[in-house]
Structure 1
Amino acid sequence: MSGWELALAVVLGTLAAAIGTPTGVSGGLLLLPLLLTVFGLGGTVASATNLLFNIVSTPIGIARQRRVDAQLTLLLVGSAAPAAVVGALVNVFLLGDSAAFRALVAALLGVVGVSILVPRPRSSGTAPLTGRGRSVMLVVGAASGLLGGFYGLGGAVLAAPATLLLTGWPVVRISGAALVATFVVSVTGLATYAGLSLAGHTAVQTPHWPLGLALGAGGVIGGYWASRYATRVPDRLLRTVLAAMVGLGALRLVLS
């Protein structure tokens, strides 16, 4: 890659993380269409490169969180991590990708994104999860991991908005747990794809390392900056940004 392409990647990674980190989505959703168009990567390598961006950039966002809900994090991660492996394996060995499946997932994301913006009663920011709520979060985590492993979306594209929709909690409470889920799903998904590549499955491609690392370096800068202003941004604005990012994720699935 040329020097200007790497410089552009740092700038784009910075902007993506600055926008996405406060909502718990990491910004990878914004980068996937750019990886496919601006940088001309194929679908599989673009997804793997996006996972690499998440791995490099999300730790700073997690470390700068004032609070990470331990119970929610354990529920999401506990079910998302194994589901990410399953999602990657299903993609490679069973279903592959299809226009019908992408449309179905895009429709689901679209409904969730719109639902975030619908006014509804808010629960207390300190209210604990009930037994039923814990079971629901396990399902949300598993679904997030499956999508993360299958499409390379990192997982939080569903974890953050679904948790927000089902609990009514403010964005600042769920963003830390969603970022941790994104990191774990990204590590698990990328390791699975890399392992399959080493095992000789030629359909599986490893990420574009220079590009992914340059994006990640920018993501560290953007994530650090975002953590300084996130608590001062109104919850309604964060919800609007999150809904827009979920909509972009749905659009990416339809157009890919």
Structure 2
Amino acid sequence: MLDWVGYVAFGAALGTLGGLFGIGGGLIAIPALGLLFGLDQQLAQGTALVMVVPNVLLALWRYHQRNRIDHRHAVALGIAGLVCAWLGSLWAVGLDGAVMRKGFIGFLLFLVLTNLVRMFGHQTPPSQALKHGWPWLAALGGLAGLAGGLFGVGGAVVATPVLTAVFGASQVVAQGLSLALAAPSTGITLVTYALHGHVNWPMGLAMAVGGLLSISWGVKLAYALPERVLRAAFCGFLLLCALMLAMKV
């Protein structure tokens, strides 16, 4: 019982972060599950997805309530992300766990670098309309979905910086669209991991309960923070996750 309560509390903390950054909480859940609970990389990713899937769906609804998400953009991102996430997850379940962990660290450090360039480089004002249409959104969805399926994070962390830097979206609009991409891709990735036995269901379900109780607070905070502060916090969050995983290597 105490373990279950602890998992719920852990999921609540991750849910707040998932709502804040529009990522579902998986990025920090995966290294934490490996470092604190000794799960191997694939099992950590699969277990985290049990929490991430409902978190993403609730966060998507909350973002849509505050700033309506264009369904045409969401469909282009979501369909391409779904197909490529399935392919990425099939690839992931056959890889060595140590190789996966090192690849995940490199993936996180790449995201940190990308976000630092965005923060300190030339900033173009966000616009109401995206600069590029559905063919480019589908390409982004495919790339982000592949990364999400491979690393169990839903692809939102890839899509968000690209949507702001290349497509001209504001941070909160980009996070909302990224959640629309992540919703179907995390679902198919969870199914793949589960079919290959890479899910601890009791732990994941308890974390999901905690995440659902707290994610709305994170979304509310995301809309209250200044854009630059939100980007800086996201960059620091990614670096922390990379450091946590490096301690496990």
Per the shorter chain, which TM-score range? 0.7 to 0.9
Aligned length: 243
Residues 10-159 of structure 1: pairs in structure 2 closer than 5 A: 10-65=8-63, 66-67=66-67, 68-93=69-94, 96=96, 98=99, 101-102=103-104, 104-131=106-133, 134-159=134-159
Maintained 8 Å contact 1:13/1:216: yes
2:145, 2:155 within 8 Å by CA — same for their partners in 1?
yes
Give, in whole Å, the separation in 1 of the partners of 2:93 and 2:215. 32
Partner in structure 2 of residue 194 of structure 1: 194
Residues 129 and 88 (structure 1), Cα distance of their counterparts in 2 relative to 1, 3 Å cut = same
Q: TM-score, normalised by structure 2?
A: 0.85
Are the counterparts in 1 of residues 62 and 219 from structure 2 also a CA contact under 8 Å? yes
8 Å CA contact 1:55, 1:186 repeated in 2: yes
Separation of aligned partners in 1, 2:14 and 2:221? 15
Tell me the residue number matched to 2:179: 179
Can you give the 5+ residue segments of structure 2 that lack an aligned partner in the other structure?
none
Q: 1:101–1:14: structure 2 CA closer, same or farther, 3 Å change rule? A: closer
Q: CA RMSD in A?
A: 2.4
User: For residues 63 and 92 of structure 1, do their structure 2 counterparts lie closer, same or farther at Cα, with a shift above 3 Å needed?
Assistant: closer
AA aligned opposite 2:107:
V
Instruction: Give distance in 2, aligned partners of 1:244 and 1:164.
Output: 18
Structure 1 gap ranges (5+): 198-204
CA gap 1:161/1:252 in 2 versus in 1, 3 angstroms: farther
1:246/1:135 Cα in 2 relative to 1: closer, same or farther (>3 Å)?
A: farther
- Go from structure 1 to structure 2 and tell me whether the alpha carbon gap of 1:227 and 1:111 turns closer, same or farther (over 3 Å shift): closer
Shift of 1:105: 3.1
Amino acid at match of 1:73: A
Encode CA deviations 1:131-182: one digit per residue, 9 max, x unaligned: 4xx4443232212111211121222121222222223322111111212222
Query: Residues of 2 paired with 1:252 and 1:73: CA distance?
Result: 32
CA distance 1:43–1:101, shift in 2 (3 Å): closer
Distance 2:2 2:129 in 1: 49
CA positional deviation for 1:216: 1.0
CA distance in 2, matches of 1:78, 1:33: 28
Distance 1:84 1:41 in 2: 22
Cα distance in 2 for residues equivalent to 1:22 and 1:172? 10
Equivalent AA in structure 1 for residue 171 of structure 2: V
Equivalents in 2 of 1:213, 1:77: separation in Å?
Answer: 24
Change (3 A) 1:177 1:54: same
Residues 1:71 and 1:219: Cα distance change in structure 2 (over 3 Å)? same
Between the aligned residues of both structures, percent identity stands at 26
State yes or no: 1:232 paired with 2:234.
no
Query: Normalized against structure 1, the TM-score is what?
Result: 0.83
| Match among 1, 4, 9 for residue 2 of structure 2 | 4
